[in-house]
Each structure stands twice: as structure tokens, then as C-alpha cells.
Amino acid sequence: MIRQGDLVKRKSYGGDIIFRVQSVDQTNQRVILRGVDYRLLADAPVADLIEVKSDQFVDSSRFHSPQTVEPMRRLVRERMAMYREQSSTPLKGQQVGNFYFEVPGKVLHLDGDPLYLRKCMTMYEDLHIPAQGLHMQESQMASALERLLPQVKPDIVVVTGHDGFIKNRSDLDIYALSSYKNSGHFVKAVEVARNYERNRDALIVVAGACQSHFEALLSAGANFASSPARVLIHALDPLFIASKVSYTPSKNTVSMLELMESTVTGLEGLGGVESRGCHRMGLPRLEKIPSQKPLSV
């Protein structure tokens, strides 16, 4: 018997994706499924499901496996290596490393899926990236950004969640926003971000989810978006892009090929335009500043 929380595959799709059962409608014998690896929300009849036993499931989500998170951790190590190299340069008889501090780009992450958001926030913390995350429906993201952008003042905005083609449409047009569940909402959110900051290097926008309308998102002002080939994207792909931008020096443009190599789904799932990074070095380190009394007015 299929229960909420079970791991399953769909027989009609050849068992290509592992899902977790989100809810079960016993009356109609249908279930709502959430992709473990991919940002996919689907429904299916109970009769179409094959249960995946826990002893057969070897961390399919890969949220913390080496092949998924290692590219981002390597990026952090590269930044620290650069930091140490600069630290070997004398500064009036001192080591530069005694004075420098690092400022990665700050991320505001809006996600239509609470589970994926929690996992993304754990990864931001693991990578030492300042980030604020909120779960909300995709339809609420545009209005939320109008309020949040002046408050948070992020360097990078991520708007993601669930998307895809609307099923059972005889007139499906992949270039029409009306053919997608949430691409129109993502487009409105991007437009709000661009009304707040028109410079694509001053505010980096990462937008979209599985099968999103890539061209519409870029036209609205996104720096990076899904999905050029209308494929499913990995749940962490938007985070990977934000992390790469956060740790790329502000004087450099982000390497597009390196960026896509950092994602799981690659160029079929994500693309974008040349953009500058958000990482900055600063000095002096705050702990080196002697304590002072507040100035009197």
C-alpha cells in the first residue's frame, strides 16, 4: 500500500525519476509526487507506481554527495587559496592576510518548494554564502520582491520552484507563456527585480525551474535562466549558479562554461548572459580595528 513519504517510481515513464509521495487521495486512488532529485511536482494513479525500498535507495537526491557539492566546495577552496597567496605579500612589515577580509555576494532566494529551500539554505551555510531564503507560491514572488528588495539589498536574486508544461493541451506552444504552469509568474518577478535595478551586473537574477520558458526569462532581464531545452533541472542547479557568481571576483566576468559545468543538468537545463561576479576583498579586518568610544554629537 502506497503511503505519504514513500519513495516510488512511475511504470509509465520507465522508472526514470525517483519521487517521494507528498499526498495520497484514497478515494480517487491518485497521489501527488515530488521529485527527489529534480524540481518536479507530478500526479499519478496509484496503480502506476513502483515502490522503491529504502535499502535500494542510495541517496538518490545527491544533495550532499561529492559529485554534486564538490564543484562548489572547490570554488570556495580556490578563493581561500587566492586569499593565502595575497596574504604572503608584505604590507609595511605585516602580512596582508592579517588585514584582508572577504565579502561574498549576498543572495535572496525565493523558492516555491519548502523542502528544496531548506536544502539550499543548508548548502549556502556550508559554503559560507550570506543568504536569506523564503518559501512562497510562485504567484506571490513578484509582489514579495517589491517589498523585499529594498529591505534585503541583495547582490543576487534567485526565483525558482516548480514549473513545466500544462498537461493535456492540444494547442501546446512552447513559445507561449500560457503553456507553462509558472513561467509567467517567474517573468513578473524578474521584471520587478529589473525595475528595482536595471544594471545586470549590479543585481544578478537567476530565474526558472523545470522546463521554464528560457527566452522569456532572459528577455525580462534575468542573467541566468532555465530551461533552454525545456528539460528538468536538478533541485540545486539555481543554487550552484548563485554560488559561483557569489564567489567570482567583482572585477571578473563569470565563465559561462565553468558555470554550466558546475550544474548537474548543464547547458540543456540552464543558460544566460555574460555577467560580473559579486565577490570582493576588503581591508582592514574588523578585529584589527582598536575599540573606540562612540562619537558624541
Tens digit of each residue's pLDDT (9 = 90 or more) over 252-270: 999 888 777 778 888 999 9
Q: In what order do the strands lie in the sheet with 156-160?
A: 131-135, 107-111, 156-160, 204-207, 224-225, 271-272
Are residues 246 and 238 in contact, defined by beta-carbon separation less than 8 angstroms? no
What is residue 197's predicted lDDT score, i.e. its pLDDT? 98
pLDDT (average), residues 245-258: 88
Does residue 80 register a pLDDT over 80?
A: no
What is residue 21's predicted lDDT score, i.e. its pLDDT? 87
pLDDT (average), residues 58-66: 46
What is residue 64's predicted lDDT score, i.e. its pLDDT? 45
- CATH architecture of the domain with range 66-282: 3-Layer(aba) Sandwich (3.40)
Question: CA-CA distance, 202 to 46, in Å (whole number)?
Answer: 49
What is residue 17's predicted lDDT score, i.e. its pLDDT? 79
Q: Using alpha carbons, select from 191, 189, 225 the residue that is nearest to residue 207.
A: 225
What is residue 107's predicted lDDT score, i.e. its pLDDT? 98
| Statement: the pTM of the whole predicted model exceeds 0.85 | no
Does residue 153 register a pLDDT over 80?
A: yes
Does residue 111 register a pLDDT over 60?
A: yes
Strands (E), the chain: 7-10, 19-25, 30-35, 41-45, 49-51, 90-91, 94-95, 101-103, 107-111, 131-135, 156-160, 204-207, 224-225, 271-272, 280-282
Does residue 278 register a pLDDT over 60?
A: yes
Sequence spans of domains, the chain? 7-56, 66-282
What is residue 42's predicted lDDT score, i.e. its pLDDT? 79
Count Cβ atoms within 10 A of the Cβ of residue 202 and give its class: 0-12 exposed, 13-18 middle, 19 or more buried. Answer: exposed
Q: What is the pLDDT of residues 113-131, one digit of tens each?
A: 998 899 899 989 988 899 9
What is residue 194's predicted lDDT score, i.e. its pLDDT? 98
pLDDT confidence tier of residue 192, bands split at 50, 70 and 90: very high
Q: Name which of 70-84, 189-203, 283-297 the model is least confident about.
A: 283-297
Does residue 211 register a pLDDT over 70?
A: yes
What is residue 69's predicted lDDT score, i.e. its pLDDT? 61
What is residue 120's predicted lDDT score, i.e. its pLDDT? 92
Provide the 8-state DSSP code for 12.
G
pLDDT confidence tier of residue 50, bands split at 50, 70 and 90: confident
What is residue 136's predicted lDDT score, i.e. its pLDDT? 96
User: Percent of the chain beyond pLDDT 70?
Assistant: 80
What is residue 199's predicted lDDT score, i.e. its pLDDT? 97
